Every structure is written in structure tokens, then in C-alpha cells.
Amino acid sequence: MMKRIFPNILVLAVSVMLASTAQTAYAAAGHAAGSTAVHDSAMEMMDAMRKQHGSHEHGHDFEAMDQLSPLQFERTVSLMQDIGLVMPAMDSIRGRKVFVETGCVVCHSVNEVGGDIGPSLNAKDMPSSMNAFEFAARMWRGASSMTAMQEDMFGEAISLTGQDLADLVAFAHDAKEQEKLTKSQIPEKLLKFLDN
Ligand code: HEC
């Protein structure tokens, strides 16, 4: 039980970094909300992404992580206590809600439900054993293009809490919970962004 929730510390840290750096990167790129030039280039970028992801099944080469040895486990627990870190519980049911309500579903599909601007996030394509932080690391790598597009489509970049991220990671890996996702769960205001 404890073992399974460990990797969440990093997820938390990365989510904080993600939130702050996304803003900086966006500002640094000279993007101004509502500008037509930005809108056009974001639209072009989205078209390019859509073509890229539509043309092949995007491979997820998330690396699997070695299991912690009992000694590493003990050290990690003691480090967490020493430096005052806590873990959120991971909830894939809530993750499904976060996935549709924050708008991930506009660009990412799960079992064919959702958009095709970003790669699909099907649990069945994920490795059976994987470092949970790798999901956040992947988001981090795609962060600059993702947040620029979100600004353009939604008027602002999606903001996530550490708990949101923990739950999204759980949802991304829970094939049973993913089966419960249907198009009818997508909020009205987001449906207009989906053209499939
Ligand atoms: C506006 C469109 C858009 C939205 C909204 C969006 N993404 Fe993305 N996402 C992308 C694109 C495009 C990429 C690929 C970026 C790249 O390759 O540079 C990506 C990449 C990713 C990746 C890496 C996938 C891989 O295989 O490497 C993950 C994980 C991810 N997104 C999760 C999310 C989650 C979770 C949300 C909701 C909180 C979200 N995305 C919202 C467009 C979006």
C-alpha cells in the first residue's frame, strides 16, 4: 500500500514546477492572450500535431521502474518523514472527472473518446509496471506546446493541484476505470472543441 503511493512526491514537485514554468515559457515566447497572430500560430501548431498523431499510433515508451528494495523503501520513508513530505492518495475515479472537466479530453482520447491533437492515453498501451513520475515527466516535456494551445483554446492554461495530478496518473493507468469514460460526460462547454 505505502509502496504504491511513493512516487507521488515527485508528481507533486513536478506539478508545482509545471505550473510555474508553463507561465514563464508562455510569457517568454511573447504570447499575448487574445492576439490574432498567436491564435493563428496555435491553430497551425494544432493542425500539425493532429496530423502527426493521426498518422501513426503514438508509442508510449514510459520506462518501467525497478521495484524498491526493502532497504530503499525504508530509506525513502525515513527521508520523507525527515523532510516533511506527505503523499496524496491516488483516486482513478476522481481522475476520470479531472480528465474531462479540466479539458485533457479535448486533446487526448481514452478508448477513442476525446480529441486527437495529443497522443491517446490508453491504459492498455501503458507498460504493466511503470514509474508513476514518468507520466508527469512526459507532461513536462510537452508542457510548452500544451499550455500555449490551452491558452489559445480555453483562454488560460489548465491549472492542476498535486492531488489532481496524482488522480490523473491513476486514471491513465486504470483500464477498468477508463472503460467508464463516455462522450456524454464531457461538459457542454468543451464539446465545441471536439470535432470528432
Ligand atoms: C490543447 C491541447 C491539449 C490539452 C488540453 C492537453 N494536452 Fe497533453 N498533450 C498535447 C500535445 C499536443 C502533446 C504532445 C506534445 C509534444 O509531443 O510536444 C501532449 C502530451 C501529453 C503527454 C505526453 C504523452 C506522451 O506519450 O509522451 C501527457 C502525459 C499529457 N499530454 C497529458 C495531459 C493531461 C493529463 C492533460 C489535462 C490536464 C492534457 N495533457 C491536456 C495537447 C494537449
Task: List the single range of 42-46, 59-63, 65-69, 88-92 with lowest mean pLDDT.
Answer: 59-63
Asked if residue 74 has pLDDT above 60, the reply is yes
Q: Whose CA is nearest to atom 20 of ligand 1?
A: 142
Q: Does ligand 1 lie within 6 Å of residue 54's CB atom?
A: no
Q: Whose CA is nearest to atom 40 of ligand 1?
A: 104
pLDDT-based confidence at residue 48 (cuts at 50, 70, 90): confident
Note the pLDDT tens digit of each residue in 127-182: 878 888 889 999 999 999 999 999 999 999 999 999 999 999 999 999 999 999 99
Of all atoms in ligand 1, which is nearest to the CA of residue 46?
A: 12
Distance in angstroms (rounded) separating the CA atoms of residues 141 and 147:
11
Q: Give the start-to-end residue ranges of the domains of the chain.
A: 2-191
The x, y and z cell numbers of residue 53, run together, are 498523431
The 3-state DSSP class for residue 103 equals coil
The highest-confidence range among 35-39, 53-57, 68-72, 148-152, by mean pLDDT, is 148-152
User: Which of 96, 146, 149, 160 maximizes ligand 1 atoms within 8 Å of its Cβ, making it the mutation to test the pocket?
Assistant: 146
Q: Would you say the pTM of this structure is higher than 0.85?
A: no
